[in-house]
Amino acid sequence: MSFKIIVDSCCDLTPAMLSDPCFVSVPLTIRVGEETIVDDTTFDQASLLWKMKQCPDAPKSACPAPADYLNAFEESGTDDIYVVTLSALLSGSHNSAAQARLLYLEDHPEANVHIFNSCSASSGEVLTALKVRELAQSGMHFSSVVNQVSRYIDEMQTLFVLETLDNLRKNGRLTRLQNIVTSTLRIKLLMGSTPEGEICKRGQAMSIRQALSKMVDIMASDPSHKGKTLCITHCNCLERAFQLKEMALKSCQFSEILICETGGISTVYANDGGIVAAF
């Protein structure tokens, strides 16, 4: 049976991955000052980073409307539709997709449509989308793909280190961390996601390198990482991404390590120099 994997644009698939016709990306939008930027193939990372630095106000993001997802469903022309969204606790993207699913099934009751809440973002969404493709291409039945990918999401870990938490703080994504975020800019927080998809603190360090080292320690200490794929997504810091890859190769036993680049939404929250990893 044919299938499509519809992702929101916080899923940082590489251009090569997105060239696979099974993938369709539905863009979120970004507002910086008075300008609205669509997070699609026209996205210019350098331009967005410059605009965010120049703008005194925090950038804002907006999820796709249900109609955007519905159009993607209608255009898919497939039997099975899988949707991967960023954490439902961080964005309304999952809710919009769920609303579109209900509308679509009214006219296509025979269709199979499942919305995966990745409980993550960026790298975590990439791994989820690739796992869906792997299983669906094997000929596995729709319900079995849903069950196995859901378990995969439950077992996945997401970690990130940012040069600055300013955009996350201004956009209210760090409400529970207000007591631990200090004005001492030299302190780098190692962050992660809870099983439910909320942001949590995993550690802190005096430098990015130390924070990355602690990130690798967490990976290595988790026995379930062995044989898994590690996805590293970077925001304008390819050298740092390769540094993390080398550290992981020395200390961990991943079967594969992917390196991706942040799209628009991930650039907003990772900001210049940010690293997101998931496994």
Q: Which of 155, 176, 209 is the last residue of a domain?
A: 155
- Residue 104 is predicted with a pLDDT of 98
C-alpha pair distances (Å), 168 with each of 154, 162, 177, 271, 279: 24, 10, 11, 9, 23
Amino acid of residue 102: L
Q: 177: pLDDT confidence band, cut at 50, 70 and 90?
A: low
Q: DSSP class of residue 276?
A: E
Q: Which of 155, 186, 211 is the last residue of a domain?
A: 155
- Whether residue 171 is found in the same domain as residue 244: yes
pTM reported for the whole predicted model: 0.93
Mean pLDDT is highest, among 141-145, 170-174, 187-191, for 141-145
- Residue 178 is predicted with a pLDDT of 44
Contacts of residue 222, defined as CB under 8 A and 6 or more positions apart, other chains included, come to: 157
- Residue 206 is predicted with a pLDDT of 87
- Whether residue 151 is found in the same domain as residue 225: no
Amino acid of residue 74: E
Instruction: Provide the domain limits for residue 102.
Output: 3-155
pLDDT tens digit string along 63-115? 999 999 999 999 999 989 999 999 999 999 999 999 999 999 999 999 999 99
Contacts of residue 235, defined as CB under 8 A and 6 or more positions apart, other chains included, come to: 45, 261, 262, 266, 267, 270, 271, 272, 273, 274, 275
- Whether residue 144 is found in the same domain as residue 243: no
- Residue 76 is predicted with a pLDDT of 95
Q: 171: pLDDT confidence band, cut at 50, 70 and 90?
A: low
Q: 213: pLDDT confidence band, cut at 50, 70 and 90?
A: very high
CATH code where residue 96 lies: 3.40.50.10170
- Whether residue 176 is found in the same domain as residue 214: yes
Q: 1: pLDDT confidence band, cut at 50, 70 and 90?
A: low
- Whether residue 202 is found in the same domain as residue 270: yes
CATH code where residue 240 lies: 3.30.1180.10
Lowest mean pLDDT among 38-47, 77-86, 166-175, 259-268: 166-175
Amino acid of residue 210: Q
Q: How far apart are CA 55 and CA 150, in angstroms?
A: 39
Q: How far apart are CA 20 and CA 12, in angstroms?
A: 14
- Whether residue 119 is found in the same domain as residue 173: no
pLDDT at 121 over 90: yes
Total number of domains constituting the chain = 2
- Whether residue 78 is found in the same domain as residue 131: yes
- Residue 237 is predicted with a pLDDT of 97
- Whether residue 11 is found in the same domain as residue 144: yes
- Whether residue 162 is found in the same domain as residue 148: no
- Whether residue 76 is found in the same domain as residue 129: yes
- Residue 184 is predicted with a pLDDT of 47
Structural tokens at position 277: 């990893």
Q: Which of 107, 134, 155 is the last residue of a domain?
A: 155
| Average pLDDT value over all residues in the chain | 93
C-alpha pair distances (Å), 160 with each of 69, 171, 226, 279: 28, 17, 20, 12
- Whether residue 111 is found in the same domain as residue 209: no
- Whether residue 194 is found in the same domain as residue 144: no
279 class by beta-carbon count within 10 Å (0-12 exposed, 13-18 middle, 19+ buried): buried
pLDDT at 179 over 80: no
